[in-house]
Amino acid sequence: MTETAAARIERKLTHALKPTRIRVLDESAKHVGHAGARPGGETHFHVEMVSPAFAGLSRLERQRRVHAVLAEELADRVHALSMKLSAPDDSAQG
């Protein structure tokens, strides 16, 4: 069985950033007909992640870390990636 893009994203982020919580949502169905949408979906994702690796980093630095881990996916199939990234001690973790 072929690994889904969402499963691959979760696996790679888990391996690289050791999150205490991670959620990867495939939101491709919401973007049918929009730029970057493809038949079969797997183009638009939302990641919510809490990781000690984000402690002391700005929002931009956190996003850059995720983009570095997912560079292959972002260069190929993934058109859009929205993120909510926090460290365990962030007060805005909610």
Distances (CA, A) of 17 to 22, 23, 30, 43: 10, 13, 28, 22
Full set of structural domains in the chain with CATH = 1-13+43-94 (3.30.300.90)
CA distance 25 to 35: 19
Give the 3-state secondary structure of residue 70: coil
14 touches 63 (CB < 8 A):
no
pLDDT band at 36 (very low <50, low <70, confident <90, very high): low
Q: Can you tell me the mean pLDDT for 22-45? A: 75
- Residue-wise pLDDT for 37-66, tens only, equals 565 668 889 999 999 999 999 999 999 999
Q: What percent of the chain has pLDDT over 90?
A: 67
- Answer yes or no: is pLDDT of 94 > 50: no
pLDDT band at 13 (very low <50, low <70, confident <90, very high): very high
Helices (H) and strands (E) in the chain, counts: 3, 3
- Answer yes or no: is pLDDT of 80 > 90: no
Buried b (16+ CB within 10 A) or exposed e, 37-50: beeebbbbbebbbb
